[in-house]
Amino acid sequence: MRIIVVGVCASGKTTLVTQLKDWGFDAHNVAQEHSGIKTLWKRKEPDIVVMLDATLDSIRKRRNVPWGEERLIVQRERLQNVRQHADLFLPTDSLTKEEVAQKVVAFVRG
């Protein structure tokens, strides 16, 4: 089962994919937020699509970003198509990286 993870910058995609791979899942990060190709995410032929999101306040706590809300709006616009097709939408603001991974695994195992 192939899991792809998409989301805005610093929402936890890379951390989640690393953890899922460590646990034996076929997981991949798709940098859809940087692409104008609306269906870039489909190229990985996913079985499950997980979309992570975060507020600008949370992003700035996680990473020193030079951009503001305008860039986040653009990223979310680029993610609109994948959000409509996501199997799981998960805001990560109030979750630890462990909680994010646990929620995704619980969803996958259903």
Report field, pTM of the whole predicted structure over 0.75: yes
| Type of residue at 72 | L
Domain range 2-109, CATH class: alpha beta
C-alpha distances out from residue 9 to 1, 19, 25, 107, Å: 25, 18, 22, 23
The vertex-106 CA angle with 93 and 45, nearest 5°, equals: 90
Q: What is the pLDDT of residues 65-77, one digit of tens each?
A: 999 999 999 999 9
Q: What is the pLDDT of residues 7-46, one digit of tens each?
A: 999 999 999 999 999 999 999 999 888 888 889 899 999 9
Q: What is the pLDDT of residue 96?
A: 96
